[in-house]
Structures are given as C-alpha cells and as structure tokens.
Chains A and B, each alone.
Chain A
Amino acid sequence: MSSITQPIGGHADVAGGHEHHPSGIMRWITTTNHKDIGTMYLWFSFTMFIVGGVFALTIRSELFEPGMQIVTPERFNQLITLHGLVMIFGALMPGAVGFANWMIPLQIGAPDMAFARMNNLSFWLLPPAAIMLLLGLFVPGGAPETGWTLYPPLSIQQGMGMDLTIFAIHIMGASSIMGSINIITTILNLRAPGMTLMKMPLFCWSWLITAYLLIAVMPVLAGAVTMLLTDRHFGTSFFNAAGGGDPVLFQHVFWFFGHPEVYIIILPAFGLISEVIPTFSRKPLFGYASMVYALCAIAILSFLVWAHHMFTVGLPAAGILFYMYATMMIAVPTGVKVFNWLATMWRGSITLEAPMLFALGFLFLFTTGGFTGLIVAIQPIDVQFQDTYYVVAHFHYVMVAGTLFAFFAATYYWLPKWTGHMYNETVAKWHFWGSFIFFNVAFFPMHFLGLAGMPRRIPDYAQQFTNWNQVSTVGAFGFGLSQLIFLYAVVSCIRGGKPAPAKPWDGATSLEWTLPSPAPYHSFPTPPVVQ
C-alpha cells in the first residue's frame, strides 16, 4: 500500500493522504472519512439506545405493579411512542449504517464511500432529527400518544408533538435514503479488482439488499406521514371517512413500509452473524450462494406480507388467507439461513470468544423469535395475540436478541481493528451473560402475559398479570445495567489494552484483516487485488 498513489476515484476528499484535515470538534463536523462517520453513527446509535432504554425502564417501572405510580397515562403513551421511534430510527438503523460505513469499504477494498460529502450530510441530519423527535416531550400536548405506528384518527387528534415527529421522520428518512444510495454505489462501483459480487463478504451482500429495501420503502413512509400532515392541517381526507377516506388505508401504506422495515433492521444483522460464525468456527461459510438467495427471497417476500400486521381490522377471508400463506413462506428462507449457520459450525474448530457468544445468543434467541413469528403468522392464533404482550415479546426477541446481539457481536469482533487494542475478554463475557440472562428474564414472561390476555400499550393492568410483570421489570433493569458493562468494555478498549495484531482472529479471512490494527485513517489508496 504505497502512500504516493493517487486515490482511485480521483476525488480530492476521498482519500487524499497528504491532505491536511481539521482536528478537534471540527474534525468530526467536517469529516468525509468513512471511518470517522462510521464511528459517529455508532456513538449516535449507542446514545439513542441509552435514551430509548431510559424510556423503556420508565415504562417497566410504571408496570412493576398495578395502579398508577410514576407517570400519567398520557405520558406513558408518549413514552411508548418515543421508545419505539428512538430505538428503530435512532438506535437500530443508524447502528447498522455505522457498521456499513466502517466496514464495507474495508471489506471490498475501497478507499472510502462513493459520495464522501453526502455521507457527512446523511449523518449530520440525524442529531437534529433526534432532537426534534424528543422535543415533542416538552411542547404543549406532549409527544404523540399513538405508538410508533401513528395510526389515524388518533394521530389526527394529537398536538404539535405529532408535527415534530412527522418532520423528524422525514429528516431521518432522507438520511437513510442518502446513506443507502451511497452504500449501493460503493458496493457496485468501488470493489477492488477481482472482488466479484459473489466473492463479497456476506455482510456487504446483506447491506446491498437492505439498501435497496430502504430506497424502496422509506419514501413510502415519508408519503404516509405527509398524508397525515396534510390531513391534520390542510383539509385533505386521505384517512378521514367523512371526506371519502379510510383510516385503514393508513395502516396499509404504513405497513407496506413497516414490514420491509423489519427486514431492513434484521438483514444487516444476518450479514454480521455470517461474518462472525465462520471466523470462530475456523471454517468457510456453508452455502454462501444459498445465503445470498435466501436474503433476496426474504427481501422480496417482505413486500407481500404487510397485512399480517392488520389481521384484526376485518379483512375479507381471501385476503387473510393470502397474507397468512405468504407470511408463513418467510419461514423457509429464514430456516435456510439458520441451517446454514449450523452447518458452518458443524465439524468446525469452535472457540467461544465474546463475538461468538453473542452470535450464538443471536442464533438461539432470534430463532425463538422466529418460532413465535410463525405462531403469530397463523391468523386465528393472531386474533388472540394481536396487540398483546405476546407480540411485544416476539418482536423484542427478533429486534433486541436478534439485531442488537448481532451489533454486540460485531462490535467485539471489529473493536481490535477499530482501536488497535484487544478488548477485555472477561468483561465482554460478563456483558454477554448479563445481557443473555436478563434479556430472557425481561422478555420471556411477556409471552405468558400475552397468552393470558394482557393488551400491550396499557399503563396499568389487572392484578392477575402482576407477577410476570414484576419479573419482567427486574429483568429489564438487569438488561439495562448490563449495557453499562458494554460501555465500560468499549471505552477501556479505546483507551488502551493489549495491542491488537492485524488479524487477531485466526479464522478470519476477509480483506479488512489485511490492514494493520488500528486501520489507518486512509486505507486501500491502491486497490488490493483479490486472488
């Protein structure tokens, strides 16, 4: 990697190694470096994770026992709305973009992202959007009391917090779309010579598909919330029966976005897990091609199943059957992925460092969430589970134990590459076991609550639900506190620790491990040649 070579794109700010760049805060505000931007995304994501977590713990505290103790019912509703929006749009999506920014150029041998300045803009749109979203708590009427799904007519009734939320969603959507265009262009145009698409690490594949999904559905969400906005203020009646509209139409448009969104959140996690499991099994990924096809199949099916979120609105029987069958079909490609991961481990030489532990935790708990997903896909059963804690349990098994655990796995996996230090394995294992055990303590009882008939989004409940709620609240606090161990593990790794070699994991094969640790500020100024 000669330092005199000109950057590939010929773009002065892509990788001008000889260029002076600002330091201090201005470095971060003006940076166009994919590593800096990736780092900022990840810290932003963690910050929002803490904010959303505080909301979650407030909710769990209120639900510790029957009766109203901590917040008013309207504040409770606002917290559930913000918990959902902050976690999805603030923590999970930016987190995945952070990993993409850091790792995709390194994995495909590119010097940087294709559009470096747009990359800076897509990050810096996020903090103002987050502030706007949270500002809702302090305006008259508070944040929306609608849940993150923003169903009208309830959302039409809300105060100005609703408008702030709509604008925040617009901005975050714009950020996601720009980020996605950047990722697609980087992957399609900036691969090193010899890095064909079917040789790319699976993480890059998962993000390529995710980015297409984002470009397809984020604008639909923007359209849906714009329709809400004009219904609220400009006299349109998209969702108002009086003017010839239909409130159920919003649900269709929202879930046309919302279901692919679920896969937007989980697909990058699949990619991350597909990096970690082969490395710690010291064996190539089993069924690479079928993994790619399964990702594509899941992405395509995600457009055909949205109405399973609306199984109780009174769809005609034919519609219910179509959406039920289509939803059940998703179990096939998802099953292929799980079997392939197992086959990768089969006859491997497995070690259980923290990334592998989190990957196994992912496998175990995500699959559990997959089974409950299959159960709620069966419409007659879903009639009992729709809008109950069973659904809450289901999607936390796939979002938290799925995506979040994959993020933890990936963080420990790449921390040596990012910081140049090894993280403390003991601390990381404490983090894993704390997260794994308390996650289950917090969320497993919610299945029982849902079965027994506790609706979700209620600030107070009947007394037969008390015991499991108390268990769940204890688990939630344990899970929350376990994340402080994570913060400690990451910060101490940044500040020091055993120096990391270029390739700390003997089973790792992808390109990023050919770079020294920490990865230099400008990497691959000359493209590496693959095979």
Chain B
Amino acid sequence: MRRAGMDQGGTGLAASGENMVGTGKGGARRRWVATLAAALLAFPGIAFADWAWNFQPPASPIADQIERLHELIFWICVVIFIGVFGTMFYILIKHRKSVGHQAAQFHENTTIEVIWTVIPFLILVSMAWPATKVVLAMHDTSAPDMTIKVTGYQWKWNYDYIDEGFNFYSTLSTTLDQIQNRQKKDPHYLLEVDHPLVVPVGEKVRVLVTAGDVIHSWWVPAFGLKQDAIPGFVRDTWFRADKIGTFRGQCAELCGKEHGFMPVVVEVKSKDDYATWLAAEKQKLAAVADDPNKVWTQDELVAHGKKVFDGNCAACHQPTGTGNAAIGAPALVGDKVVLGPAQHQIDVVLNGQTNGVLQHPPAGGKMPSWAQLSDADIASAITYTRNSWGNKAEQNVIQPKDVKAERK
C-alpha cells in the first residue's frame, strides 16, 4: 500500500496508511506528479528519493482547508505574476533602443496610480476573507473528545494522555550507524520513533503543548498543525484526524544540537484498534506499577537499559559511551563515577551535576536531572553503563528499589 501514499503527494514517506484514499482536491495534478515519480522510481538508487513538491496529503479538515486556501492564493498570485511579467517582457521586446524605439518623456498619471493602488487592495480583501475563516476554525478548541499533553524536551517528546493518566516518551529510533552512513538507511530514516503517539480516527483531540527546557515546535504537516512549545506555559490547539494511517512530522523550532533528530510520529487507529491499544498500554503500565520491588536479572536490566540509554543519554554521551567533549559530556567508558559506588551514580542521574566546562544555568552544559524517569528505567540505564563498552564495575547490578531508596 505504500504506493498509494506515494501516488498522492509524491511524498511517498509522508503517509503510509493502509486506508489511504485519494482526496479530490488537487488530485489530477498529484496523479501527474505520481506518474513522474513512478518513472523516476525506475532508476536504481533513488528508490526512496523523489521529487516531492507539494503539501503532504491532508489528513484532517484543517489541513485540507489550508491546502485549498493555499491553492486559491497561489493561483491568484500566478495570474498577477503572468500579467506583470508578461507586460515586462512585452516592454523588453518592443520598447528597446535596438529596435529603434524612441523614449517618451511622461512621468506621472494620477488616474492609473490610483487604480493600481486600489485594485491590489481589493484583491487583498478577497484573500483575507477566506483566510480569516480558517484562522477562526483553527482556534476553536471547544468540545474535545480527548486531551493529550505534548511536552518537548531536548531532544524527545513526551505524550501524556491526560484523561487516561499515563504518559510516555517518544524518541528517534533511527540508529546512529544510519546517520553516520555505516548502515543502509531505513525507508523512514529520521522520521521513525520508538513509541509513536496513538490517536483514534475521527475524534477531536485537544493538544496542550509545552516544553521542559527550550522552545520546540510540534508539527504534523498532514494535520495542518504546528504549535510552538514554550517552557513554563501551555498552549492549546487541536486536530481531528480523518484518515487511518501513520503521519510523520518533525520538531520545527531550532532547539539545539539534536533539533533535526526529534521526529513526531502519529499513528491514527480505528476506534476499536485504539481501544485495544489503550488497554494493552494500561496493562503494561500496571505490570510495572504492581511490583516496584521486583528483582530484575542482570540481562533484563542491560537489555532494557540499552533502550533507555539510547533514547535519553546517547544524545550527549554517545551510544558508544565515548562522550562528546565539545559539549562537555564525559566519556562513560572507564569513567570513575560509572565504575565507582553505585549510590553516587544514582545520585548524579537523579539530581544532575554541573561539570565545570560550561556553566550557564539553568540547563546548559550540565548533566540534567533525570528524576522524571521511572526507577526501573534509571536502574536499567545505570546497570547498562556498568556492563557495556568494556566497563566492568564492581557493583554491576542496580535494582529499581536501589533507585527508589536514593530518591528519598
């Protein structure tokens, strides 16, 4: 079915839904592009690279309205453009010295000057009217079916299902090997996450957007939704996905080093599938919550810890634990905190520390506090660092209860 997505916007990777159906507006033009794209697909080596040149297929009423508004204004501009530059080229051909044209000497004409001030003004009014309607529609956050809070962090998203009482982090799942060209890139390179946002189709989702450190911007092109995430303040907006499928966007406000590596992935499911997913998700959370004193094996901790580490710590300390001197993140390989007493390492992870290279509070250049992660996540990540990349710490198994004890 991926060809269906590709045929629509020429964007191929934008939407790879199962139930994608053609949208009427702009369809003919899209099909023409699709033919071109299909022709290009015949060439080896550019299988996934195409010539995307228009909006991703809209998957919400607002995105659809935006696209139609854009087409209207675009074509008005094209008509004016042709008029203005048609005139210019006519002048350049006819009124040339080389064709013997003599210069007239007139230099003003009030009537025509008034005309070309008033007519553009009227055209603008005709553009402003439909635009205003869309602006007002976008601001109507009343009567939502559900509310999700989106929090941007350097460099991941947290999705909090406020009505359901659970939340999770969503981080890039593309491997560093792909980014550094040591491995073939996935079809959804840089637009794939470990844990996408899941929403039911057809429901009005109110989105509360905020940030935990710097400004981010949550953007899903197919929903026509982009909202800056401002630390300390919530903003609300909404979308109603009218198609089932997977929709991909990215952070749209420069937020530091990994700004290009924090995609937004939204899975729109049918209401039944959503209910199933929700039940499973709750069950998973209940399982963790039920038994905080569960004793994990070293292998379990290391396996889970790798995921936690790659999702949260690797951005600075690198997946290989080699650190990044440029931003003051020390190498964890052979590090004396990692190889020393576990209690100290837990304390550093829970409370953060300033490392003396860059000391610009509140967040810059220091190890932030990771207290928001669960005990199990922190214990696993620490255990992972103590047993990886050649590290062999004396205390090499840290249990969630050790972290819990340290929190008090």
Same complex for A and B? Answer: yes
Chain B residue at smallest Cβ distance from A232: B360
For A288, the chain B residues whose CB sits under 8 A away are 107-108
Expressed in whole angstroms, the minimum distance between the Cβ of A505 and any Cβ of chain B is 12
For A336, the chain B residues whose CB sits under 8 A away are 113, 116-117
A–B Cβ pairs within 8 angstroms, 18 of them: A74-B257, A146-B254, A342-B91, A349-B96, A349-B101, A360-B92, A374-B127, A379-B131, A384-B55, A384-B221, A448-B51, A449-B52, A453-B55, A453-B249, A462-B189, A464-B12, A464-B52, A468-B51
Q: A140-B357, A380-B224, A384-B66 are in contact. Are A342 and B88 (CB under 8 A)?
A: yes
With A384-B226, A451-B55, A464-B50 known, 5 other A-B pairs at CB within 8 A are A69-B181, A246-B230, A247-B231, A340-B113, A386-B252
Q: A77-B257, A368-B81 are in contact. Are A312 and B226 (CB under 8 A)?
A: yes
> Would you list the 8 A-B pairs with minimal beta carbon distance, nearest first?
A241-B232, A157-B364, A458-B260, A314-B235, A452-B52, A466-B49, A448-B53, A349-B103
Expressed in whole angstroms, the minimum distance between the Cβ of B323 and any Cβ of chain A is 13
Q: Tell me, yes or no, whether A67 is within 8 Å of chain B by CB.
A: yes
For A452, the chain B residues whose CB sits under 8 A away are 9-11, 14, 52-56
Q: Tell me, yes or no, whether B142 is within 8 Å of chain A by CB.
A: no
- Please provide the chain B residues from 56 to 70 with a CB less than 8 Å away from any CB of chain A in the complex: 56, 62-63, 65-66, 69-70
Q: Tell me, yes or no, whether B358 is within 8 Å of chain A by CB.
A: yes
For A374, the chain B residues whose CB sits under 8 A away are 73, 77, 127
The answer to whether B13 touches A347, judged by C-beta atoms less than 8 angstroms apart, is no
Q: How does the 8 Å CB contact mask read for A323-345 relative to B, with 1 for contact and 0 for none?
A: 01100110110011011101101
The answer to whether B135 touches A462, judged by C-beta atoms less than 8 angstroms apart, is no
For B185, the chain A residues whose CB sits under 8 A away are 66-67, 463
Size class of the contact patch on chain B: 35 or more
The answer to whether A157 touches B252, judged by C-beta atoms less than 8 angstroms apart, is no
Size class of the contact patch on chain A: 35 or more
The answer to whether A312 touches B358, judged by C-beta atoms less than 8 angstroms apart, is no
Q: A159-B358, A463-B185 are in contact. Are A345 and B121 (CB under 8 A)?
A: no
CA distance A502 to B323 in the complex (A): 66
CA distance A120 to B46 in the complex (A): 56
Q: Tell me, yes or no, whether A348 is within 8 Å of chain B by CB.
A: yes
The answer to whether B14 touches A453, judged by C-beta atoms less than 8 angstroms apart, is yes
Q: Which of these binds chain B: A198-206, A276-284, A481-489?
A: A276-284
Q: Tell me, yes or no, whether B283 is within 8 Å of chain A by CB.
A: no
- Please provide the chain A residues from 296 to 318 with a CB less than 8 Å away from any CB of chain B in the complex: 312-314, 316-317
Q: How does the 8 Å CB contact mask read for A43-77 relative to B, with 1 for contact and 0 for none?
A: 00000000000000000000000111100111001
For B235, the chain A residues whose CB sits under 8 A away are 313-314
Q: Tell me, yes or no, whether A457 is within 8 Å of chain B by CB.
A: yes
Q: How does the 8 Å CB contact mask read for B60-104 relative to A, with 1 for contact and 0 for none?
A: 001101100110011001001100110110011001111001111
Expressed in whole angstroms, the minimum distance between the Cβ of A27 and any Cβ of chain B is 42
Q: Tell me, yes or no, whether A248 is within 8 Å of chain B by CB.
A: yes
Chain A residue at smallest Cβ distance from B65: A380
For A371, the chain B residues whose CB sits under 8 A away are 77, 80-81
Q: Tell me, yes or no, whether B344 is within 8 Å of chain A by CB.
A: no
The answer to whether A156 touches B360, judged by C-beta atoms less than 8 angstroms apart, is yes
Expressed in whole angstroms, the minimum distance between the Cβ of A16 and any Cβ of chain B is 40
CA distance A320 to B116 in the complex (A): 27
The answer to whether A77 touches B249, judged by C-beta atoms less than 8 angstroms apart, is no
Q: How does the 8 Å CB contact mask read for A382-400 relative to B, with 1 for contact and 0 for none?
A: 0110111000000000000
For B181, the chain A residues whose CB sits under 8 A away are 67-69
CA distance A449 to B51 in the complex (A): 9
For A283, the chain B residues whose CB sits under 8 A away are 103-105, 107
Q: A286-B108, A328-B127, A378-B69 are in contact. Are A147 and B358 (CB under 8 A)?
A: no
Q: A157-B364, A241-B233, A345-B88 are in contact. Are A464 and B49 (CB under 8 A)?
A: yes
Chain A residue at smallest Cβ distance from B108: A287
The answer to whether B124 touches A383, judged by C-beta atoms less than 8 angstroms apart, is no
Expressed in whole angstroms, the minimum distance between the Cβ of A104 and any Cβ of chain B is 23
Q: Tell me, yes or no, whether A346 is within 8 Å of chain B by CB.
A: yes
Q: Which of these binds chain A: B161-169, B211-219, B292-300?
A: B211-219
Q: Tell me, yes or no, whether B372 is within 8 Å of chain A by CB.
A: no
Expressed in whole angstroms, the minimum distance between the Cβ of B260 and any Cβ of chain A is 3
- Please provide the chain B residues from 15 to 61 with a CB less than 8 Å away from any CB of chain A in the complex: 46, 48-56
CA distance A116 to B88 in the complex (A): 42
For A188, the chain B residues whose CB sits under 8 A away are none
CA distance A286 to B97 in the complex (A): 19
Expressed in whole angstroms, the minimum distance between the Cβ of A61 and any Cβ of chain B is 14
The answer to whether A142 touches B55, judged by C-beta atoms less than 8 angstroms apart, is no
The answer to whether A285 touches B107, judged by C-beta atoms less than 8 angstroms apart, is yes
Q: Tell me, yes or no, whether A145 is within 8 Å of chain B by CB.
A: yes
The answer to whether A328 touches B128, judged by C-beta atoms less than 8 angstroms apart, is yes
The answer to whether B136 touches A317, judged by C-beta atoms less than 8 angstroms apart, is yes
Q: Tell me, yes or no, whether B259 is within 8 Å of chain A by CB.
A: yes
Q: How does the 8 Å CB contact mask read for A425-465 relative to B, with 1 for contact and 0 for none?
A: 00000000000000000000000110111010111111111
Selected from A349, A351, A363, the residue in CB contact (under 8 A) with B88 is: A363
Q: Tell me, yes or no, whether B253 is within 8 Å of chain A by CB.
A: yes
